[in-house]
Structure 1
Amino acid sequence: MTASAPTILATSAGCVPHPRLRFAFGPMMRLATELAAEDGWHDPSGPPCICNVSTASGDDARFQRDMEEAAREAGYELHHLSLFSTPNVADIPAYLRSFDVIWVNGGSVVNLLAVWRAHGLDRVMRQLWEEGVVLAGVSAGSICWHTGGVTDSFGPDLAPVTDGLGMLPWANGVHCDSEEARMPLLRRLVAEGTLGETHCTDDSTGLLYRSQQLVEAVSEKRGARVRRLRRDDVSGGLVEEDLPVRLLEGALPGESAD
């Protein structure tokens, strides 16, 4: 299944609280499946089919089971691409092409980038994106598609990462409302030129890109913000602006579970 144009949904969202499970899938995951369905399902009688890629958390088996439970509850079919300790499929490109959405989870974006490059998955993801497979993800699974951002991959103190896949020509900030150190560092890095224009998401929000165009910002929660940071090349100062945010159907007043 492919979307009508190269599509990335880069988020600080995707999962919401659930009374019995560790988390449930929210409106952001539903949006990802709707984007893939624009040209109709291969099998209209079947459920949306998602590939979970959890490289950034070391393919943690418990988290993978939690994702399966959330998918079952939502009526989705979900499988995994695992790279630890060896890939779980022989033909990774063919396997990934069989899904409607590739969802990349959070964790260490630095480790994700290193492992993907070792397996050639950076090139595979770019090819799939160009073919119209919907790429989506949260946190590390959001930053990875951009030129970089800030990360806690190296330890408790946030640090810049500038070697993202670069499929999107901007940097990316995630969890900008719930982790108070992120926005000040992002502002400094953009102002000094370490990062270029940077798109910053609060928890529960996401950015929809078609090709290399930012189409809209969306949110699972009322009041969450999405901001754009850029350096004014004339004054050398920082320009910060709020972007309009579309509230997704089924948005909840509570916090995101991510």
Structure 2
Amino acid sequence: MAAGQPTILATSGGYKPGSRTRIEFDHLMHYAVELSGVSGRAPRVTHIGTASGDQRWWAAEMDQAARIAGFNFAHLNLFTMPNIEDPEAHLLEQDVVWVHGGSVVNLLAVWRAHGLDGILRKAWESGVVLAGVSAGSICWFKSGVTDSFGPELQPVTTALGFLPYANGVHYDSEPRRAPAIHKLVANGTLGEAHCTDDGVGLVYQGTKLVEVVSEVKNKAAFRVTAGAGESVDAIAVEERLESRFLG
């Protein structure tokens, strides 16, 4: 089973506190599965935790959440070596690839060292839904802002570029995010930026943004573009994109 066309769900969410476990998968994770079109069997979902160093304790939490959700769940670890002999064959068999957050700069470096950038493009083009949160959102875009280098947010312009935009995450919960994105879009470091409040996801078919969805009421996404003005007075224009509540 595969999505009808290349599909990405880029989010600032996907998890919630569990009733008997520390986390459960929230609506955005389940929507990624829905986008894949799978039916009649347990969805095949692979988690990639490179951005956080393939933390085994987090993988165990994800396994508990996947058991509750009824997913056929796997992990592709790259530390200290790939835990799957043929990552390409494995990923091409999945319905969804979900990428966890952490350091997007480190994620990109390790993925490229293992050739995962090319493998993930093949998976995307074949209809495997690519999804993720935070660093697992930014990675699919051309660029974004990151704290991978330190507390002060800096641009990253070497992301995978499957989507020809910049990406901003945690837009409402981390006060430094919006001003940094506005500044970098206004001065031309970043192009058009698509940003998500916590709990919001952006759905792309091919490279077109087709839907904004949310697992939290009254949350939104934002499109930030460069405005008019001289370079010394450059401004950015922010457009609110209302979301469809998945709850």
Match of 2:44 in 1: 49
Match of 2:198 in 1: 203
Q: Per-residue deviation at 1:154?
A: 1.1
Mapping of 1:38-187 within 5 angstroms?
40-41=38-39, 44=40, 46-187=41-182
Q: Per-residue deviation at 1:145?
A: 0.3
Cα distance in 2 for residues equivalent to 1:198 and 1:95: 32
Q: In the alignment, does 2:237 pair up with 1:239?
A: yes
Contact 2:11 2:132 in 1 (8 A): yes
Contact 2:52 2:101 in 1 (8 A): yes
Partner SS, residue 84 of structure 2? coil
Partner SS, residue 129 of structure 1? helix
Of 13-22 and 54-63, deviating more is 13-22
Supply the RMSD in Å over aligned alpha carbons. 1.2
Partner SS, residue 193 of structure 1? coil
Match of 2:17 in 1: 17
Q: Per-residue deviation at 1:237?
A: 2.9
Q: Which runs of 4+ in 1 moved over 2 A?
A: 232-237
Cα distance in 1 for residues equivalent to 2:202 and 2:223: 11
From 205, 225, 230, the equivalent of 1:230 is: 225
Q: Per-residue deviation at 1:155?
A: 1.5
Q: Per-residue deviation at 1:244?
A: 2.1
State the TM-score, normalized to the length of structure 1: 0.92
What percent of counterpart residues are identical? 54
Q: Per-residue deviation at 1:234?
A: 6.5
Aligned partner letter, 1:16: K
Contact 2:219 2:242 in 1 (8 A): no
Aligned partner letter, 2:184: L
Aligned partner letter, 1:105: H
Match of 1:191 in 2: 186
Aligned partner letter, 1:152: D
Q: Per-residue deviation at 1:47?
A: 1.1
Aligned partner letter, 2:117: D
1:100-154 alpha-carbon deviations (Å, 9 max, x no partner): 1000000000000000000010011111111111100000000000011111111
Match of 2:36 in 1: 36
Cα distance in 2 for residues equivalent to 1:26 and 1:166: 27
In the alignment, structure 2 segments of 5+ residues that lack a partner are: none
Cα distance in 1 for residues equivalent to 2:89 and 2:208: 27
Contact 2:92 2:126 in 1 (8 A): no
Of 3-12 and 97-106, deviating more is 97-106
Partner SS, residue 116 of structure 1? helix
Cα distance in 2 for residues equivalent to 1:237 and 1:104: 33
Cα distance in 2 for residues equivalent to 1:69 and 1:10: 23
1:200-231 alpha-carbon deviations (Å, 9 max, x no partner): 10000000000010001100011112111000
Aligned partner letter, 1:78: F
In the alignment, structure 1 segments of 5+ residues that lack a partner are: 252-258
Cα distance in 2 for residues equivalent to 1:234 and 1:160: 22
Aligned partner letter, 1:9: L
